[in-house]
Amino acid sequence: MSNGHRGVNGNGGHTSMRQQDENYQYMTQDFESRVDKSHYDPFQDKDERRQIRHDYRKLIKTTEDNKREYADAFGQGLDDTLAEANNLFTKVRNTTEATLDSRLLVLSADITTQKARNLRVDHQLFNVDEFIAKVKSFCSGSSPEVVAENWVKLGKRATKYGRTVRSIDFMLGPLSVEKKKRKITKQVRLTKNKEDLVQPQQLEQNDIQKQTNETTLQVNQVYKILDQRGPTNYFEFITNPDSFSQTVENMFYVSFLIRNGVAEIDDSTGQPILATRATPSIDELSSGLTKKQLIIPLTMSLWEQMKKAYGIRRSIIPMRDTQENTLQAGKWY
């Protein structure tokens, strides 16, 4: 198989392809070892994920239907729900199922709040509004003297429930405080040359739009290069042997193409082959186009390994002038 600029010639060519396969397998294993599959696994079985979502939705519906019963102070339904949710969460490895778990957790928190409000003390429901109404009725009277006397009676009755030892009061500060006179010091201003002073300018909407247009332009340029070149090894396509930062940028631009469904990566041959594809049709989008995502932690050491493994000495995507992406100096960002 040809990658566009390198052919297979004799035993040496087969040895080179075998070496590339071994290097790719090594890097793939290294990438997968960095992903904690106990929390995130993009390759989790689809049937298992579908069953987890079904169980979560069933549990949420049951909780919503029995919300009033679960809010009872002595009900055990919410405890059983949380126990089942904890068991389900041990199988969650993707964000879709984690979102359903969060939804169930918020619903359980609301029910727990209502359950706390319905808590009975000595088998009697304590209602704050009812208590205030009864205090008002007890302390009211036909004259101010009667009202004051009723408040005294209420205080004596309440004292036995809240008797505490008299605490010591502290005096915050000395008896006399002399106000210190404020010393006015003269600040010596450093005079600068007016030629060296730069007036900062506020960042305008046009500057932000310019950066957005620049990104779109680069993505379109990368698509044209890939379309003209044809199927190419992914690492050979994005790697710039002379610039680590532009390698990261190339990976960023290619991710836009894959997200929009105009490019794809095929690793059925043992190598990640990047190629353009037709724009997804309306039927594909409505039926739910399946996309797989993988987070690749690209570091300087991995960048050096890719250059060495694939013998990359020239960048397929031309080097971009760093001056083009520099915003106008003297502005606030």
Q: State the pTM of this model.
A: 0.39
Tell whether the model's pLDDT for residue 115 goes beyond 50: yes
Of the given ranges (31-45, 108-122, 186-200, 221-235), which has the lowest mean pLDDT?
A: 186-200
- Choose among 323, 326, 306: nearest CA to 240: 306
**Percent of the chain residues past pLDDT 90, beyond the cut:** 18
- Under the phi-then-psi rule, with left for phi > 0, alpha for psi from -120 to 50, and beta for the rest, what region is 328? beta
66-76 pLDDT, tens digit per residue, is 988 888 767 78
Of the given ranges (99-113, 114-128, 214-228), which has the lowest mean pLDDT?
A: 114-128
Beta strands (DSSP E) in 187-312 are 201-202, 232-233, 263-266, 273-276
β partners of residue 263: 276
What pLDDT, on the 0 to 100 scale, is given for residue 202?
62
**Percent of the chain residues past pLDDT 70, beyond the cut:** 70
259: helix, strand or coil: helix
- Give 200's pLDDT tier (boundaries 50, 70, 90): low
Tell whether the model's pLDDT for residue 3 goes beyond 50: no
- Give 211's pLDDT tier (boundaries 50, 70, 90): low
Q: Which two tokens stand for residue 63?
A: 């909780």
Calpha distance 327→333 (Å, rounded):
9
Average pLDDT over residues 175-202: 67
The answer to whether 87 touches 40, Cβ cutoff 8 Å, is: no
Calpha distance 129→47 (Å, rounded):
53
**Site of tokens 């039926």:** 287
Q: Other CB atoms closer than 10 Å to residue 306's CB: what's the count?
A: 20
Kindly calculate the radius of gyration of the chain based on its CA atoms and give it in whole angstroms: 35
Tell whether the model's pLDDT for residue 257 goes beyond 60: yes
Beta strands (DSSP E) in the chain are 120-121, 124-125, 201-202, 232-233, 263-266, 273-276, 331-332
What pLDDT, on the 0 to 100 scale, is given for residue 62?
92
Q: Other CB atoms closer than 10 Å to residue 112's CB: what's the count?
A: 14
- Choose among 17, 29, 26: nearest CA to 311: 17
* Degrees, nearest 5: CA angle 250-267-285: 75
What pLDDT, on the 0 to 100 scale, is given for residue 188?
66
333: helix, strand or coil: coil
The answer to whether 313 touches 236, Cβ cutoff 8 Å, is: no
The answer to whether 181 touches 313, Cβ cutoff 8 Å, is: no
89: helix, strand or coil: helix
Q: What number of residues does the chain have? A: 333
The answer to whether 78 touches 108, Cβ cutoff 8 Å, is: yes
